[in-house]
A and B are shown apart, each in its own frame.
Chain A
Amino acid sequence: MISKRIVLLMFGTTIAVACLTVRGARLHAQQTVTHDVPVSKSGGTVVMLCDGKTSIEVKNLKPGEMMSRAQAQAVSDDLMAKWRRAHPGERWEVAQASPANEGSMAAPAAAPSLSVQQGDTYASFQPRDYKVWKAETDNFVAEGKRVFHDAKALGSTIGVSCDMCHPDAANTHPETYPKYQVQLQRVALLRDMIDWCIENPVKGKALDPNDPKLRALEAYIYAQRKGVPLDYGKH
């Protein structure tokens, strides 16, 4: 649901050509996933929406050629129109019209024009950017919460999931890492302990540090300790 809304947000407010290069992956995956764009039969260029399905052919655009801004806008408008015809009644939300987000992921308040520095890259981010970032982060954390509570997703062979000993990730103390872990005889990071738990009490297979599940678990655990001061090395 959320991922669909984000896709819509981007349609509504920006040029679809830019959207092409940015979007497409499942939110928690690491690599940017590219869509297979069909080859143009007329020697032009096929442009695809970030849903990976809707495409139109720009006949006079040879591969490698740039469109003018006006041309790109026209192409993206056509793509959107095509998508909307195919999805009548689909929920539509325009980012700027939405209420502001809460918490530290929210966009900074609009600055009084003369008292605050303006004009650099950071200052140019719009509320919709913050909204997208927050949704991306929340999705990442939500995926971690799902895995944390799901013995099968963790690969447990004995029906044990993390939440059975750590409700709301209690007593995982991510803020205390890195620290020397006597039983491992080395300095451990949070992910080392997650993997230890997966291998031992959960009786599954340790995850690769880059495994999307391990990254999501880490995200969920950190998110539960928001506001707790970092205190690495604490025992």
Chain B
Amino acid sequence: MAARHKSVETKYMEDRDTVLRGLARLDRRTFLKVLAASAGAVMAKGLVPPHTFQLVNVAEAALDKTTSAIGASGTPPFSFAYVSDTHMYLRTLNQRFVKGAVKAVEDVNALDPQPDFVLFGGDLAQLGRPEELEQGKGVLSMLKAPVKMMVGEHDWFYDMGEKWQELFGPPNYSFDWKGVHVVVLMSVHEKDFWTARKLTPAERMQIVAGLDNGIQSRFEVGEEERAWLKRDLAKVPATTPLLVFSHSPLYKYYRNWNFWTEDAEQIQAILKPYHSVTVIHGHTHQLLFNQIGNISFYGMLSTAWPWPYAPEGLPPLTVQMNRADPYDQLDGLGDGQVNVNKDGLADMMYNLWDRNPVTVRAQYLRSQGKVYRPPAPQFASY
């Protein structure tokens, strides 16, 4: 895009982004950079420290650097970004969801330095139509960093994954990255509810697309893929940090909305021998985190719409985000960045649009909430 005039507000927001993204992985060089950007943001806004969030966060992040150096295992730290749950209809029908996805792509492209890769968290399309998936691939192709694709139920149940696999390859795979073993799961299999009812592909997709539609089955990884996971992990030592990407949460949160993985306990058992496991999941469209034994879970934000918190089953460590403002179509949405530390544990930065970002540290989850508790919401769920 050609160079253009930037308003004071745009400049301020860009500076602010630089500051906040820089904070999470602070070394001496970036510390100086962050300080400078922070000062710029403060001037642009006409505020005087210490009333700005920037400087407070700098102090906090510097403190964090000291603590995370302890117990470092030598894994080089790295960052990846995520974009998730874009739910794009064709742009001729609905431009808003496409705009949300494009905004996230622009966010990620603005990161400097660029993340190692971008995880796409599933639900690229809304109704799994081939043309929706192709359009989605077009939007994601604008990302500068390499993209790791994951599938969601909205991508799958029109043609049972045919088009998605043609575009993006197998839905479950693994790779090694800077000392971390990364597994991508296809965790939205459902037991056949359609054949006996003689449903068309479109009807099947519409039912799965309805969160509160009780006709569908519960999500599962399934026996075949669990066997694949065991084989994949057979060669990975227990000391290797694991990152698991899954569209469904890999634990049981709320059954009625399929915030749920039917074989969660079996998956968790397979992951149990590993000292450090982080699950990054989509589907729930909200600030959501959990710790079960050795496994830390982070839910990703959506770029299309936020889901309310379920009436029961919310993990006790989750700090709810403020209720989304219905009058602001970007509120409660966003993208984010995951920073993998030297010890292989991962911190999650929720880049909430039109709000201050929230960082959830692995130490918060691993300490069962004793340290680094994220700020409480002013307006929790009704």
Contacts and interface: CB of A to CB of B under 8 A. Distances in A.
Q: Are both chains from one complex?
A: yes
Interface of A: 149, 158-160, 163-168, 170-171, 173, 176, 183, 196-197, 200-201, 234-235
Contacts of A163: 210-212
Contact of B307 (A160, A167, A200, A234): A167
B382 A165 contact: no
Interface residues of B, number: 25
B257 A167 contact: yes
A201 B326 contact: yes
A173 B382 contact: yes
Given A167-B211, A176-B382, A159 B89 contact: yes
A171 B210 CA distance: 16
B329 A167 contact: no
A163 B379 CA distance: 22
A159 B93 contact: yes
Contacts of B305: 164-165, 201
A159 B212 contact: no
Contacts of A168: 212, 256-257
Contacts of B95: 158
Given A165-B307, A171-B308, A160 B94 contact: yes
A135 B326 CA distance: 34
B362 to A, nearest CB: 30
Contacts of B329: 201
B306 interface: yes
Given A163-B211, A165-B305, A170 B311 contact: yes
Contacts of A165: 305-308
B323 interface: yes
Nearest to A231: B382
Q: Which 9 A-B pairs have the closest CB atoms?
A: A171-B308, A167-B212, A158-B94, A167-B211, A173-B382, A170-B308, A168-B212, A183-B327, A165-B305
12 contacts: A149-B213, A165-B305, A165-B308, A167-B257, A167-B307, A168-B212, A170-B308, A170-B311, A171-B381, A201-B305, A201-B329, A234-B382
B308 A158 contact: no
Interface of A is mostly: loop
B50 to A, nearest CB: 30
A158 B307 contact: no
Contacts of B94: 158-160
Interface in B347-382: 379, 381-382
Given A171-B381, A234-B382, 17 more contacts: A149-B210, A159-B89, A160-B94, A163-B212, A165-B305, A166-B308, A167-B307, A168-B212, A168-B256, A168-B257, A170-B308, A171-B323, A196-B326, A197-B326, A200-B326, A201-B329, A235-B379
Nearest to B206: A149
A166 to B, nearest CB: 7
B126 A159 contact: yes
B25 interface: no
Contacts of A235: 379
Candidate in B89, B212, B381 with the most chain A CB atoms within 10 angstroms: B212
Contacts of A160: 94
B284 to A, nearest CB: 11
A197 B325 CA distance: 12
A164 to B, nearest CB: 6
